[in-house]
Structure 1
Amino acid sequence: MAEAPKILVVLTSHATLGDTGRPTGFYLSELAHPYAVFTSQGFSVTLASPSGGAAPLDPSSVEAAATDPISQSFFDDNKSLWESTAPLEAFLGHSDDFAALFYPGGHGPMFDLAVDPVSQALIGEFAAKGKVVAAVCHGPAVFVGVKGDGGESFLAGKRVTGLSNAEEVEVGLDKAVPFLLEDRLIELVGPDGRYEKAEGNWEEKVVVDGKLITGQNPASAKGVAEAIAQAAWGA
């Protein structure tokens, strides 16, 4: 049997929600459910973040997971994973070691990974080598500053999803974020691409466009991981 591919998971290092004073970070279920999928299929998972060390976990996502046994079990048993992440820049030039690059959401990525040059370079490196690149919920914010070979947006002409404006408004944080993700994605995919979303808020929506895989919201995290696993085995 072939050796299972490795997956690099990148978490935010940003811990404060704009000027609200509220804590933020990555969203628990958007790491827990993909991790369960990956490990159940024998994948090796490595966690990184821009600053390395402990990645901030959004406490509201822990509260939201009170009735989610997968997230609860992950939280109880795997704290060392997000409390000891590797510095992101250590992986530049090492995309050949991995079959996929995955970004969970939470509001944190909107503030740091959306503008992080190391993350942007890493995404470009993975994409150039035909590797799977994926994100869920606010995670697709990591793509907004990534450029293609000709200087155009990495997202130009692609099908993509991410947290909708209506969902951001529903949680009352549309004024706290630096930009509305749906609006920015629509702008960047351009006339030849398409932003897609579920019919209702918080319903699962996974979009696969070649090796680019995106999910709309927390309910989409498992589906994104399953799509990553399927694509990674063929990488």
Structure 2
Amino acid sequence: MYIPKILIVVTGTPTFANGKLATGLWLSEFAHIYHRAKNEGYEITVANPRGGNTPVDPESLKSIFLDELSKKYWETADFKDMLYHAKSLDDVLSQQFDVVYLAGGHGAMYDFPDNTVLQTIIRNHYESNRIVSAICHGVSGLLNVELSGGEYLVKGKELTGFSWFEESLARRKEEVPFDLEALLKERGAYYQKAVIPMTPKVIVDNNLITGQNPFSSKEMAEVVIRQLNENSTITKQ
């Protein structure tokens, strides 16, 4: 029996550029996809650009944002240990997965966009007709990915990601290194967002799946798993 493989890519950046304000992975954006994949019996690999510890944004641990599922996992020692011992992207470069999933958190804005290893992983999987998915600031990892023909992966794609207005609501507009929404549009993406900020939004464009914000975490996980289960192009290895 073939067991699908999912690569969850997380940030390794613990602070904003000023070195004072903490950031990192947004926990729910990891916990929900991990939970669904685990329940399905998938083989899960967690990697960040350098490997090792995965910082978690303290904001994502506040009660207003920490849903019950994420809280349950955060209280589990094995779960924390897994995040502490993430593989490096170099470790997984030659491997093939059925899903590549880019989790968010502001830290991803620093170590995802210009990482050439991540770009290669995304391009190879996308061009192999496998699922590439990203949520919130994880979408920044798609920004500079060029396909074999030289065009940006996001060009002409319907997608979403954390909006500029949501950055204002999050009080991070002055801290972030760029405007994700604007850059996606600049690269030719058909960017969409929820009518009401900070509400769920998930967009599927063939094998590209994107989620807008942390509140999309549960729906995003459901859509990705459903898409994989329905995908008849999985290559058995």
Equivalent position of 1:81 in the other structure? 82
Deviation (angstroms), 1:157: 0.6
Distance 2:66 2:205 in 1: 32
Task: Determine if contact 2:28/2:66 at 8 Å carries over to the other structure.
Answer: no
On the 8 A contact 1:110/1:138 being kept in 2, the answer is yes
Separation of aligned partners in 2, 1:171 and 1:43: 34
Q: Which residue of 1 aligns with 2:11?
A: 12
Choose the corresponding residue for 2:219, options 213, 223, 228: 223
Distance 1:128 1:67 in 2: 36
The answer on whether the counterparts of 1:99 and 1:131 sit within 8 Å (CA) in structure 2 is yes
**Could you list the runs of 5+ residues in structure 1 that have no partner in the other structure?**
none
Mapped contact 1:6–1:100 kept (Cα < 8 A)? yes
The alpha-carbon deviation at position 142 of structure 1 amounts to: 0.1
CA distance in 2, matches of 1:113, 1:127: 17
Say yes or no: does 1:30 pair with 2:29.
yes
Q: Deviations over 1:122-142 (max 9, x none)?
A: 111111111100010111000
Q: Distance in 2 between matches of 1:224 and 1:68?
A: 15
Contact 1:48 1:85 in 2 (8 A): yes
**Residue 74 of structure 1, CA deviation:** 0.8
Structure 2 partner of 1:92:
93
What is the aligned partner in structure 1 of residue 131 from structure 2? 132
* 2:183 alignment counterpart: 184
Cα distance per residue 1:44-63 (max 9 Å; x no partner): 21100111111111111111
Q: Which residue type is aligned with residue 86 of structure 1?
A: K
Q: How far, CA to CA, are the matches of 1:213 and 1:16 in structure 2? A: 27
Give the C-alpha shift of residue 67 in structure 1: 5.3
What is the Cα deviation at residue 65 of structure 1? 5.9
Cα deviation for residue 159 of structure 1 reads: 0.5
CA contact (8 A) 2:60 2:66 kept: no
SS at match of 2:44: strand
Looking at structure 1, the residues matched to 124 and 66 of structure 2 have their Cα atoms a distance apart, in angstroms, of: 39
Per the alignment, residue 119 of structure 1 pairs with 118
Q: Is the 8 A contact 1:29 1:65 kept in 2?
A: no
Percent identity (aligned): 36
CA gap of 1:117–1:223, structure 2 versus 1, over 3 A, is same
Per the normalisation by structure 1, the TM-score is: 0.93
Task: Report the Cα offset of residue 147 of structure 1.
Answer: 0.4
TM-score by length of 2: 0.92
Q: Distance in 2 between matches of 1:87 and 1:168?
A: 29
What CA deviation, in whole Å up to 9, does each residue of 1:152-197 have, x standing for no partner?
Answer: 1111110010001110011111121111111111111x2xx41110
CA distance in structure 2 between the aligned counterparts of 1:67 and 1:93, rounded to whole angstroms: 35
- Structure 1 position 4, deviation (Å): 2.9
SS of 1:198 mapped into structure 2: coil
Any stretches of 5+ residues in structure 2 without a counterpart? Answer: none
Within-5 A mapping of 1:186-225:
186-188=185-187, 190=188, 193-225=189-221
Range with greater deviation from structure 2 (25-34 or 65-74): 65-74
- In 2 relative to 1, CA 66–105 (structure 1 residues): closer, same or farther, beyond 3 Å? closer
Assess if the C-alpha contact under 8 Å between 1:103 and 1:136 holds in 2: yes
The letter of the residue matching 1:89 is D
AA in 2 matched with 1:17: F
Q: Which residue of 1 aligns with 2:67?
A: 68
